[in-house]
Amino acid sequence: MSKKAWGGRFSDELDAVAARVNTSVDVDQRLGPEDVRGSVAHVRMLASRGIVSAEDAARIEAGLLQIEDEIRDGSMVWRADREDVHMNVEALLTERIGEVGGRLHTARSRNDQVATDMRLWTREACARTAAKIDRLLAVLARRAEGTVEVVMPGYTHLQRAQPVRLAHHLLAWCEMLERDRGRLDDAARRMNESPLGSAALAGTTFPLDREQTARALGFERPMRNSLDAVSDRDFLLEALSALSICAVHLSRIGEELVLWSAQEFGFIEMSDRFTTGSSIMPQKKNPDMAELVRGKSARVIGDLVSLLVLMKGLPLAYNRDMQEDKRPTFDAFDTVEDCLEVLTGALATATFSPERMRAALVEGFVEATEVADWLAARAVPFREAHHVAGRLVRLCVERRTTLPSLSLEDFRSAHPAFDESIFEAIEPEVAIERRSVLGGPARGQVRAQIEALASRLAARGVEVEPSSDRPEAG
């Protein structure tokens, strides 16, 4: 927008490069629907307080709703010379209904306007992302229900550690995602206050009803301090922090999918819809979508860091630096939502290999903890039991054999307490079933976890479809 349009203070036009740096409509036009919503709530309040006439308010609202329709159907023409979303909407409104359109800006500033728009947009983005997390959770719940009987190694340090159920592992992913959803919900609750009516920084002399506009826009209350209201971007920092943690979780899931689909593991085969080939090696089936989910976490973390650095040195109240808060916010939400959708599709269509998972339990001495626990349950101090089990593992390494292949005499040579029941105790399924503590991998505990997850999802309006996994996968 021309400098002269801002009044008598300016005599020269803005430098061409400065004008390009100054404009933000290429990014913030995305706030168009929120900008109109805030403006409609504002003008209705102005009319209810007698600040503008009912007739003027009706004309302004009708014009705004027409502009909103154009924004939503994509026919709105955004002009860079009008700087931002706010001035594009207001200038177009004034073009269409005349100077009465200028009354819309009575008792407000672009400072409280953009703060309101961003809270409205981010609040809904949190809900939208949470819904996508729920869809991924529903897929994982279905796959878990179908793989309760599939046993596999659990890992620490990427070394085979103890036997668990595949369903137990999938439910661990669910716990991570549930916390991510909770953080977004928390952020949305905390941001649910209205800055509108704070004007530039010190409120206004007009007798506004800020409670009315807050209610009209679905906020719980107006913000208490006008200076804070236009300065605060904590709500964006908190939302992007939640998104960054979620992106890290998605990256860890992606990493496990990459590992599991490698021929060295062979635990899973990804659908053709979520893999790609090689430009030179015809045999390749690459888990590129899982790799991209892993890689895109860096972008989301970068968005958070950009916003933190942007805000760290700013004095109160509004500073133009804050124009740069939108791009990282939009990018972080877009990226996480895309990653959630990709993983939802990839996990819904992947094929697990119960045979490969079960076979992976043969090597790696995953029964060693069972040996130590067996002794500890018979009054052998655990540290001694641990040492005995370690000696038996060393014996297996020397003989190039496995713990189940040892004889009873081998076991008794390490400790006289051993009897024939040790062989049943080190069977993977038996070992898993002995771990029936809350949160453990035993069948009953896993089924209870699946049912609890399905109940939580149902309470949020999300149904878990019946499992279609193969019978041998449960």
Residues belonging to the active site: 157, 278
Taking CB atoms within 8 Å and a gap of at least 24, the contacts of 450-453 are 450/141, 450/144, 450/145, 450/148, 450/167, 450/171, 453/137, 453/141, 453/144, 453/171, 453/174, 453/178
* Residue carrying the six token digits 């909770």: 182
In degrees rounded to 5, what are phi and psi of residue 145? -60, -35
Where does residue 420 rank: exposed (0-12), middle (13-18), buried (19+ CB within 10 A)?
A: exposed
- Cα(74)–Cα(422) distance, integer angstroms: 71
Bridge partners of 470, per DSSP, are none
Is 325 within 8 Å of 233 (Cβ atoms)? yes
List helix spans (H) across 191-319: 210-216, 226-231, 234-261, 288-311
- Cα(312)–Cα(314) distance, integer angstroms: 6
Is 132 within 8 Å of 340 (Cβ atoms)? yes
Task: End-to-end CA distance of the chain: give it in Å, rounded.
Answer: 65
Q: Is the peptide bond before 242 cis (omega within 30 degrees of 0)?
A: no
- Cα(347)–Cα(350) distance, integer angstroms: 5
HSE-up (13 A, CA, CB side) for residue 145: 17
Both structure tokens of 96: 């269409």
Q: Which helix (H) or strand (E) holds 327?
A: helix 326-349
- Cα(215)–Cα(205) distance, integer angstroms: 21
